[in-house]
Chains A and B, each alone.
Chain A
Amino acid sequence: MLEPVNVSLESLNLMTLAPMLIPIIGALLILIIDIFKSDLDKTLYVMISIIFLLMDLGAIAQTAGIFNESGTIMGVFDVMLIDGLAILAQLIIVGASLLFIPLALTHSRFHEFSYSEFFALFLFMLGGFQFMVATDNLILIFVGLETSSLALYTLIAMHNRDKAFEAAVKYFTMGALAAGFFSFGAMVFYALTGSIEINQIATVLTENGFADMGFVLVGTTFLLGAIGFKLSLVPFHTWAPDVYEGSSAATAGFMSIVPKIALFVVAMRMFEFLIHSGVVWLEIILYIVVVVTMTAANIWALVQNDVKRMLAYSSISHAGFVMAAVLIGTTQSNSALFLYWILFSFTNLGAFSMLWISRQKHLPLHQSSDHSYNKFAGMVQTAPVAATIMGLFMLSLAGIPPFALFWGKLYMISSAVSGGYTVLALIMALNSAIAGYYYLKLIVFMFMRDPVINKDGHVFVSNATHPLRTIIGFAAVGTIFAFVAINPVLEFITALVFKSGY
């Protein structure tokens, strides 16, 4: 007869689940409301989402307090792992979502926001991402990844245009392949070590001195492939521009930030111990991937005729830039990763929101795509404030000081310098210069050319409502005055990252 297993409730530490459960409860609540009364306005759902996100933020802050006192928290049979990385990543995920969800309050009515399911799926997705970052169990990472990805595919498809379906299906196919890669890689590591927890895997592998190097490499390759797909690293990036183009500008901005930070944390947990324990092969491959991602994406971005596609390629390039932090693997570089991503989320979400408020419900005949460069020509004459704000976001993305992203770039390049990666630091700097060109291209169109298509400035702000203006204003102020906040943010991040042992 089996021994009964006694598990005390305290040892489960169910507190650790609170931040993930809050959005899931919110999602369920939205579904329940929808059952009782179905034709409610989107503002209700937006506000419910915001309330639950704020509660989520509170829960994360609470775990951060506990972490600060007693260090890393394990819970639920040691599956949950709340450390500094988890807290930082969740803060970014929830913070960026708080900026994203009010973007649903557009002036024109868009298809997806009239469904309550959009908001329910959105909150489920957040729960998935939060599970992903708050564990080092490969299976839970996989579950979180799939929950969030499936929800995200649907969100894209709900935009209800031809290209949106194409994008969703494309993303789904690629995502399925990546999921396969991930499970296969996890399987190889389980076969090698008998564990699915990253720290256990690390211990076992170090103890036997990486005896089965061949299998480690196979497992690493598959994991790299899976993570590469989701982070849109070259050569796994091919889905990204089409998916960004197909989804609404707001969703595209969201996709460029939130899913990626979750994957960065997974990559940090998985790859850094491998690099540090001397898997030289991975270091070389990662080096190549980082450099190629930065450079190639930049060069593709140069030749785009559509601002949204340009921003898609630029997001790929930024992801490559930040992936360098995982390669360098020092405390400074890991802190730089979070700092960069916080600043990037402000700026990039701002830039995509600017596209979003200029979104036309129906394309005029003479316009081939929603956001061609020509549409923005001479914008300063017709909508000077909007043009200035857009120019500000472009300058920040290009890394012109003192705007937000410059500080991220500065700290990141500095971490490359102090990590001993001098050549990488130079390549990063030169890539910023290349990137300068395509951001400048939009500025040139907005400020130095005469209007081609739109003689009327209204089109640039046609979608703008007070909530959207507030979001953009918030992003713009954050971009300009970032230098005030750098020091506290940097100290906070560094303390958390250092305490987690990264």
Chain B
Amino acid sequence: MLDNILSILVFFPAIAAIFGFAVAKDSIRAYGVAVAFIEFALSLLLWFSFDSSVSGMQFMEMVPLVPAFGINYILGVDGISLFIVILASFFTMIGIASLGETKNVKNMIISLLFLQMTMAGVFVALDAIVFYVFWELSLVPMLYIIGAWGGPLRIYASVKFFLYTFTGSLIMLVGMLFMAYFYYQATGTWSFAFLEWYRLILPETFQLWLFGAFFIGFAIKVPMFPFHTWLPYAHGQAPTIGSVILAAILLKMGTYAFIRLSLPMFPDASVFFMFPIAIIAIIMIIYTAMVAYAQEDIKQVVAYSSISHMGVIILGTFALNVEGITGSIFLMIAHGVVSGALFLLVGVIYDRRHTKMMAEFGGLASVMPRYATIFGIMLMASVGLPLTINFVGEFLSLLGFYQQSHILTLLAGIAIIVGAIYMLSAYKKMFFGEVTNEENRNLPDVNKRELVALVPLVLITVWLGVYPKPLLDPISNSVKSVVQLMHDKAISEEAKTRIPNLMDGVTRVKETN
């Protein structure tokens, strides 16, 4: 079973979803939870059988798909992708478990299970075409979730989401085909396998163009400034579950793809574009933080703060050293947990009041103390308070980038501190003061079903904030090999110096021996 565990992880939810059509409407929720739980258990099994000391790919599977054109179904997992896969199955589980009253709940749960397949697929695919298949396929269930269960502007929001990402990924597809063609020219066979592509050293001009093509696809997905405009709409209109999955997992596809594809394949271009991208990332952090401050809708505040944090992830990624990239991967997990939790929390209050305007609330702390506590913890985590999960990631990301540029890191650091202002002020508006609105006076506190979803998230937030080592070790192991690969492949002098050579230390030790 362990030989094929990745295929099982990918296709189990889809097959279960097809069987789900036969389940009666009033029992579908239990079915969904059961399937998602099995999927989560499988992903935990993957973690336990994962060998943390190995830096390369594990549990690899290969089936030829279109050998005439070099397309193979290749799966594999390493420290970089492992935890995102677990996170995805975890969020699908608690997402389905905490699903409130929904019309057509059957269609929703089946869509979520299909979405789970595509999410798992993207993160374990090691062939560009298979990766692309899952990457694009993930748009379809999300389109349906936003478009069918969203707010009043849902159709506009869902179509915008779809077309934006679709356009970007088609340009990425052209880049992939180019890459395969270069490989064909260099070796005489077609191949779309990532691991084969890693071995290819491209001339710098080609690297710049290809980096650009991939960048457009990934940047729209992240979304990076100035391609971010689809996200606030999507979040604003999406149902709670849609926002949670979108923020926690789908956005990570972009940042993950940077680390999986752009960095190891185009090391010189990555160095060349390091500062421009870092500047975009810092603009993203500061600008969206300011926009978040101006919002009156709590969900938009969370949405913009989520974009802001994605900026830190990008900054860490483009530090191009072990600390930065490890930090950014850890921050992906952290951001997933925290922003997912915040969207769930917004959903809790929206279910009760059917409004997300902060002006409608006030003094909720006295009415819903448990809710206020959980919200407070998650908010502190989002701000990056030490001993919470976000802090570890942010700190490492910034530490990594500090080695490349002091000033830019300082700017980003200040921006993160400023980020605390809008979050705290939002918290103040909602929870403190007198209860001014009569409708708020008798709101029920969080119920059991919501607690089932929220309490594990709180526990993870604190646990990984205090003791992040179980995650950091496997991640940094795999990151080291990526960084070393980049250093070895780099052509230009600047790239050789910017990307650290990790073998230096090892060889020196050997010489002294």
Residues of A within 8 A of B (CB): 380, 395, 400-402, 406-407, 410-411, 413-414, 417-418, 422, 425-426, 429-430, 432-433, 436-437, 440, 443-444, 447-449, 483, 486-487, 490-491, 494
Looking at the assembled complex, report how far the CB atom of B17 sits from the nearest CB atom of chain A, in whole angstroms.
13
Looking at the assembled complex, report how far the CB atom of A161 sits from the nearest CB atom of chain B, in whole angstroms.
34
Looking at the assembled complex, report how far the CB atom of B187 sits from the nearest CB atom of chain A, in whole angstroms.
14
Query: Which of A395, A426, A444, A490 interacts with B159 by CB under 8 Å?
Result: A444
Question: What are 14 A-B pairs at a CB distance below 8 A?
Answer: A395-B140, A400-B136, A400-B139, A401-B132, A401-B136, A429-B170, A429-B171, A440-B143, A443-B143, A444-B147, A444-B158, A444-B159, A448-B148, A448-B155
Classify the interface of chain A: helix, strand, loop or mixed.
Answer: helix
A487-B159 contact given A418-B181, A426-B174, A429-B173, CB 8 Å threshold = no
* CB-CB nearest in chain B for A414: B177
Looking at the assembled complex, report how far the CB atom of A347 sits from the nearest CB atom of chain B, in whole angstroms.
16
Question: Are A433 and B174 touching (Cβ within 8 A)?
Answer: no
Query: Which of B64, B129, B137 interacts with A410 by CB under 8 Å?
Result: B129
Question: Are A440 and B163 touching (Cβ within 8 A)?
Answer: yes
Query: Which of B65, B158, B177, B178 interacts with A448 by CB under 8 Å?
Result: B158
Question: Are A400 and B137 touching (Cβ within 8 A)?
Answer: yes
Looking at the assembled complex, report how far the CB atom of A268 sits from the nearest CB atom of chain B, in whole angstroms.
21
Query: Is B463 an interface residue, CB under 8 A from the partner?
Result: no
Question: Are B171 and A437 touching (Cβ within 8 A)?
Answer: no
Query: Is B34 an interface residue, CB under 8 A from the partner?
Result: no
Chain A hits for B162, CB < 8 A: 436, 440
Chain A hits for B467, CB < 8 A: none
* CB-CB nearest in chain A for B164: A433
Tell me the chain B residues, 44-68 only, with Cβ under 8 Å from chain A.
64-68
Residues of B within 8 A of A (CB): 64-69, 107, 129, 132-133, 136-137, 139-140, 143-144, 147-148, 154-155, 158-159, 162-163, 166-167, 170-171, 173-174, 177-178, 180-181, 184
A400-B140 contact given A437-B159, A447-B147, A490-B66, CB 8 Å threshold = yes
Question: Are A413 and B65 touching (Cβ within 8 A)?
Answer: no
* CB-CB nearest in chain B for A400: B136
A448-B181 contact given A413-B173, A487-B67, CB 8 Å threshold = no
- A116 and B69 CA atoms in complex are apart in Å by 46
Question: Are B174 and A448 touching (Cβ within 8 A)?
Answer: no
Given known contacts A417-B178, A433-B163, A490-B66, what 10 new A-B pairs fall within 8 Å (CB)?
A401-B136, A406-B133, A413-B177, A417-B181, A426-B171, A440-B143, A440-B159, A444-B147, A448-B155, A486-B66
Question: Are B174 and A417 touching (Cβ within 8 A)?
Answer: yes
A436-B166 contact given A426-B171, A444-B155, A444-B159, CB 8 Å threshold = yes
Chain A hits for B184, CB < 8 A: 418
Question: Are B170 and A430 touching (Cβ within 8 A)?
Answer: yes
Chain A hits for B163, CB < 8 A: 433, 436-437, 440
Query: Which of B132, B148, B171, B181 interacts with A414 by CB under 8 Å?
Result: B181
Query: Which of A413, A418, A425, A448 interacts with B147 by CB under 8 Å?
Result: A448
Chain B hits for A406, CB < 8 A: 133
Question: Are A410 and B140 touching (Cβ within 8 A)?
Answer: no
Chain A hits for B177, CB < 8 A: 410, 413-414, 417, 425
Looking at the assembled complex, report how far the CB atom of A492 sits from the nearest CB atom of chain B, in whole angstroms.
10
